Structure 1
Amino acid sequence: MAHWNGSDLAKIAAAEELDLSSERADGTLRDPVTMWVVRSGGQVYVRSVKGADGPWYRGTQSRHQGRIEAGGVRSDVTFQEADPGEYPGVDAAYREKYGHYTSIVEHVLTERARASTLRLEPR
């Protein structure tokens, strides 16, 4: 498992949103999708509100790598499916960071969304 350096981790975690571009099978990048991003421990996570059926999530599954931009950090990453044991920490991070969006945050806390939790690892 690759680890973020402290500065990049802090900048990404502080960003309100993240732009994610997944790689197609031919290695080219898809158009970026803007989404929420959270930090749990020393890791960075994203989730699809639509779960595994979400278009951007499906795009991450062809090569399991891409590029992110957030908080002034641009990094090539690997998309790793999070272990269910990581979900509680990610849930808590979403509640803490985005809880002021009370009518929206619950959508990233459903079982459907939880099953699409990806850990973003620098490469």
Structure 2
Amino acid sequence: MGDDSAVEYLARTDVVHIATEPRAGGEIVTPIWAVVVDGVPYVRSGYGTSSNWFRRARRDGRATFVDGRHRYPVAVEVVDDEATVDRVDDAYRTKYARYRGPLRGMLAPELRAFTMRVTPR
């Protein structure tokens, strides 16, 4: 699958599935939210470092998104640029507006530090 396919999947799908690898090996798939801002995908941990997927992705700098038989390997990196994180917040507000309660949690100021840029590999 090409880069465009990964970006399209993350843009069009409300609940995406991110696969990360525990130290013991194997793979764990976790449902999360993702947004795309100006063609660049982002994800955020709604539970900070309590999210196992986030810790594994940050440790490895990579993950894979899974859509049925399709797999989209990606690199991930934490974003600390305030202007970018503001735009990610806006994208979450737009894409997930109908999920008011969970969205409020995802936009909590303390969770902004757990925003990751996704780069298709």
Counterpart selection for 2:21 from 20, 23, 31: 23
Q: Which has the higher strand share?
A: 2
Cα RMSD for the two superposed structures: 2.2
In structure 2, the gaps of 5 or more residues are none
Mean Cα deviation higher: 36-45 or 79-88: 79-88
Counterpart selection for 1:53 from 42, 45, 50: 50
Superposed CA deviations along residues 41-78 of structure 1, whole A, max 9, x for unmatched, are: 11111111111332221111221112112497521111
Shift of 1:110: 1.1
Which residue of the partner structure matches residue 11 of structure 2? Answer: 13
Shift of 1:87: 0.6
Counterpart selection for 1:67 from 50, 64, 68: 64
The 8 Å contact of residues 12 and 70 in structure 1, kept in 2 or not, is answered as no
In structure 1, the gaps of 5 or more residues are none
Shift of 1:32: 0.4
Q: Which has the higher helix share?
A: 2
